[in-house]
Amino acid sequence: MKHVFFILISTFVLCSCNFEQPTTNQWEGKNGDLGNGYFLNPILAGDYPDPSIVRDGEDYYMTHSAFDYLPGLVVFHSKDLVNWQPISFALKEYLGSIWAPDIVKYKDKFYIYFTVSRRGNFVVYADSPHGPWSDPFDLGVGHIDPCHAVGEDGTQWLFLSNGLRAQLTEDGLSVIPETLKKVYDGWQYPEEWVTEGFCLEGPKVRKIGDYYYYLNAQGGTAGPATSHMVVVARSKSIDGPWENAPNNPLIRTYSRTERWWSKGHGSLIDTPDGKWWIVYHAYENQFMNMGRQTLLEPVEFTKDGWIEAPLGTAIEQPIRKPIDSEKIADRRDKLDEYRIGLDWKYYKNYDPTRVSARDKVLTMKAQGKTPAESAPLMFVAGAHSYEFSTKINITDDVNAGLVIYYNADFYVGISFDTTNTYRWRKAAHKGRKAHEGENTLWLKLRNDCNVITGYISYNGVDWINQGWANEISGYEHNTLYDFQSILPGIFAYGEGEATFSDFEFKLLD
């Protein structure tokens, strides 16, 4: 009956693109801390999938899947679980697509366990979440989505997808191969549920009171709106047997009319006053191309020791913050500082020698023969509608510009060389126009609920619409795979260099 009730009270309210909005809050730009003791999901808007979280005293640290972006495994810090700021990154070398990390503190060190697609599982460590982080260690085990846990006798274990588990060595940097075995079969959801597949993955193990609680993701991370979920099992021993919760699943999308789709991959976290919360990811209805966003909601323990999430679809409305604190500045206000690895990142190819930033001016050495070959430098916008602009100066053999990028085959953008501006669509330029700016132009891209338009200016004040528009709602994982999202960014290709200054990011009403 609980699930039916949640569906009946569900309301679908989104941004001003097509849908009715609530009278007290506009979704656009109003997520996170509302400044009145409440927050509105998501706590991290945009592409922040597979959240993993740890508390150290009164400090919280969280990281996410990096996939093909570098620097990767950005570590965020918070005092209240709602306001987050990036403080470090753990990966500088492209190993492959990085999936489902697990950040933990064990004794006096911090560890991040993670999967490299088609290569296995790795770990990095540091004395502090602020870094510096070690080089990656190959754990010597396959499968995906590693989770570190400690048994009753102090032994360390690595839980993996498909209900597998293996013992770690004492230093936590490799697996004892002969200990790998299946310990859990998952929870069998009703056969009429519409999912992407069984997909037992994303394990998270926490000792709370007398029990080890074993959370898993099931149903597939994308596909239909109702696919993903978080299921719970428990045992008084880390060795099992694992008993499935009678109220499974803990978290799930029950209807495509909900705002948040494919809710899953949850991590439990407590506050110093003993309350419990869960962070997880979800796609936003109509905005799957923003990627999986990080959500937060409270959970409670029943009298018989199971976990329940009482809010249901009320997570689409403001929720009282876990910890009272002041709202902090929007980290997007620092985009013009070009903090590479914290706000800005590359697609696959990270070369720190290519760029230098000083006094809000970025100098970039050009590379390749297309925007894709240039390895665009990008950031997470975390909004339905926005625009960004910058002044660009180029040397004679450079083509530089702005892009909204999914992968090397699908992006839109605007650029210029010394004689023409160029419109980019998919993976090719789709037209050019002469300009009179010679080596210097201001460029702007506007994303208005997935409709992209381009502008140029000769003075940064008077903007000239370039007369084209692209709709990119289909630039998302269900269509194009890769688990990517659309990210705005800058690029320069050719021979020479470009400078970017007067950068501005603005949310649209």
CATH of the domain at 180: 2.115.10.20
125 in the same domain as 227: yes
Residue 27 lies in a domain: no
**Has residue 23 got a pLDDT over 60?**
no
Looking at residue 509, what is its pLDDT? 75
Residue 153 lies in a domain: yes
Residue 29 lies in a domain: no
Q: How far apart are CA 345 and CA 339, in angstroms?
A: 9
> What's the CATH code of the domain at 426?
2.60.120.200
The predicted model scores a pTM of: 0.94
Q: How many CB atoms lie within 10 A of CB 29?
A: 19
For tokens 């489902």, what's the residue? 100
Residue finishing a domain among 321, 347, 362: 321
- In this structure, what are the phi and psi dihedrals at residue 504, rounded to the nearest 5 degrees? -140, 130
pLDDT tens for residues 220-254?
Answer: 999 999 999 999 999 999 999 999 999 999 999 99
| 80, HSE (Cβ side, Cα atoms, 13 Å) | 18
344 in the same domain as 316: no
In the chain, the number of structural domains is: 2
Residue 195 lies in a domain: yes
345 in the same domain as 313: no
Residue 138 lies in a domain: yes
Give every strand in the sheet of 385-394, ordered side by side. Answer: 355-358, 361-365, 497-507, 385-394, 440-448, 451-457, 463-471
The residues, ordered by sequence, that sit 6+ positions from 171 with a Cβ below 8 Å of its Cβ are none
**Has residue 32 got a pLDDT over 50?**
yes
306 in the same domain as 240: yes
Q: How far apart are CA 249 and CA 278, in angstroms?
A: 13
Residue finishing a domain among 287, 321, 355: 321
396 in the same domain as 343: yes
- Do the beta carbons of residue 298 and residue 310 sit within 8 Å? yes
301 in the same domain as 338: no
Give me the domain span that covers residue 406: 332-507
Where b means 16+ CB within 10 Å and e means fewer, 211-236 reads bbbbbbbbbbbbbbbbbbbbbbbbbe
The alpha carbon of residue 215 and the mean position of all alpha carbons in its chain are separated, in whole angstroms, by 20
Residue 33's closest CA among 369, 321, 252, 394?
A: 321
192 in the same domain as 134: yes
181 in the same domain as 46: yes
Residue 327 lies in a domain: no
**Has residue 2 got a pLDDT over 90?**
no
**Helix, strand, or coil (residue 183):** coil
pLDDT tens for residues 63-111?
Answer: 999 999 999 999 999 999 999 999 999 999 999 999 999 999 999 999 9
418 in the same domain as 317: no
Residue finishing a domain among 286, 321, 356: 321
**Has residue 13 got a pLDDT over 80?**
no
Could you tell me whether strands 120-126 and 137-138 are parallel, antiparallel, or unpaired per DSSP bridges?
Answer: antiparallel
